[in-house]
């Protein structure tokens, strides 16, 4: 046990303020939770539909993020070419874009009158107003989180192990499977949890691109926003649910890191 060992004491003041900025609003939210009505509010058909849809779509999005994001992070971490910095900046763009802009971009690409929309329409595929659109919006916003955190881990200097493996005759695929991936496995897990949490909280892009219909596209954040119109208590109860899921997710991630 030690508090800020080796650091100047004054540092504690801004640090405490920083923590307070996050903790005070959460405490305020907890103070408004209608505990007595909680079971009733969380088990309405609309709430359960929203929860199931959120967990389901965020789960699928996380798998897609892993399948696409791990290769992308590897390529970004192990390449050197002109324009790499630009490519990375573009891929990470959704991190800094307002999600509603992401939604507009997705509409411009996959909407009926979008870049690929006409082709999709000819193929009989309509994305807007379906759960697939929800997943697409979630992957769009959470993929950069996974790529960014994983690329950092990949750059930590495991190159030598890979070079040794190669010198011992391992093919690139074998090196990837037996050396590179096992080394970054904890980071992959942490990145996946981060992506899942981000997908779970996705709001703006989903609302803009996918629409809002119970059981199909109305995820928990959309349900919270809608319930706020008529029953603020219900919105707070559902918010608590999201906070709990997010906290569990973050704890799972940090627990993995603690032993190091």
Partner 1 sequence: MRIRSLAVAGLALLAVAGCSASPTPAPSSSAAALEGTLTVAAAASLQNAFTELGDLFEGANPEVTVEFAFAGSSALVAQLQEGAPGDVFASADAANMEKASELLSGDPELFAGNTLTIVTPPGNPSGIESFADLADARLVVCAAQVPCGTATAAEADAAGVTLSPVSEEQSVTDVLGRVTSGEADAGLVYATDAEAAGDAVERIDFDTTVVNEYPIAALNDSEVAAAFIAFVLSDEGRSVLASYGFKAP
Interface ranges with partner 1 (CB under 8 A): 107, 111-113, 128-129, 207, 211-214, 217-218, 225-230, 232
Task: Tell me whether residue 28 or residue 259 sits nearer to partner 1 (CB atom).
Answer: 28
Task: Tell me whether residue 46 or residue 250 sits nearer to partner 1 (CB atom).
Answer: 46
CB of 210 to partner 1, least distance (A): 8
CB of 242 to partner 1, least distance (A): 18
Task: Tell me whether residue 161 or residue 225 sits nearer to partner 1 (CB atom).
Answer: 225
Task: Decide if 185 contacts 39 (C-beta within 8 A).
Answer: no
CB of 39 to partner 1, least distance (A): 22
Task: Tell me whether residue 13 or residue 230 sits nearer to partner 1 (CB atom).
Answer: 230
Tokens 């990375």 correspond to 88
CB of 130 to partner 1, least distance (A): 9
Alpha-carbon gap, residue 239 to 116, rounded angstroms = 36
Structure tokens, 2: 């030690």
CB of 243 to partner 1, least distance (A): 20
Task: Please choose, from the candidates 156, 144, 135, the residue with its C-alpha nearest in 3D space to the C-alpha of residue 64.
Answer: 135
Task: Tell me whether residue 152 or residue 212 sits nearer to partner 1 (CB atom).
Answer: 212
Structure tokens, 79: 């390449």
Task: Decide if 239 contacts 34 (C-beta within 8 A).
Answer: no
Structure tokens, 178: 């037996």
CB of 211 to partner 1, least distance (A): 3
Computed on alpha carbons and rounded to an integer, the radius of gyration of the chain in Å comes to: 21
Distances (CA, A) of 33 to 41, 126, 229, 248, 250: 11, 39, 17, 19, 22
Alpha-carbon gap, residue 251 to 61, rounded angstroms = 21
- Got the DSSP string for 1-60? --SSTTS-GGGHHHHHHHHHHHHHHHHHHHHT--GGGHHHHHTSHHHHHHHHHHHHHHHH
Task: Tell me whether residue 127 or residue 187 sits nearer to partner 1 (CB atom).
Answer: 127
Alpha-carbon gap, residue 236 to 215, rounded angstroms = 20
Task: Tell me whether residue 21 or residue 230 sits nearer to partner 1 (CB atom).
Answer: 230
CB of 101 to partner 1, least distance (A): 14
């Amino acid at each position: 046990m030690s508090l800020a060992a080796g650091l100047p004491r004054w540092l504690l003041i801004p640090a405490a303020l920083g923590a307070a900025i996050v903790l005070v609003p959460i405490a305020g939210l907890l103070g408004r939770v209608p505990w007595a009505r909680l079971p009733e509010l969380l088990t309405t058909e609309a709430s359960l539909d929203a929860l199931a849809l959120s967990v389901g779509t965020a789960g699928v999005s996380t798998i897609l993020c892993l399948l696409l994001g791990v290769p992308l992070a590897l390529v970004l971490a192990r390449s050197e070419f002109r324009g790499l910095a630009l490519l990375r900046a573009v891929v990470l763009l959704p991190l800094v874009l307002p999600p509603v802009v992401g939604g507009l971009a997705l509409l411009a690409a996959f909407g009926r009158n979008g870049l690929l929309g006409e082709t999709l329409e000819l193929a009989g595929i309509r994305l807007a107003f379906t759960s697939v659109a929800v997943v697409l919006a979630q992957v769009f916003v959470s993929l950069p989180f996974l790529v960014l955190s994983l690329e950092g881990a990949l750059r930590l200097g495991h190159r030598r192990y890979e070079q040794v493996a190669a010198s011992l005759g391992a093919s690139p695929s074998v090196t990837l499977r037996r050396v590179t991936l096992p080394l970054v496995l904890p980071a992959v897990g942490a990145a996946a949890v981060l992506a899942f949490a981000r997908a779970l909280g996705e709001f703006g892009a989903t609302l803009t691109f996918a629409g809002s219909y119970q059981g199909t596209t109305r995820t928990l954040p959309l349900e919270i926003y809608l319930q706020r119109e008529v029953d603020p208590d219900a919105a707070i109860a559902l918010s608590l649910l999201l906070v709990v899921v997010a906290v569990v997710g973050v704890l799972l991630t940090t627990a993995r890191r603690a032993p190091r």
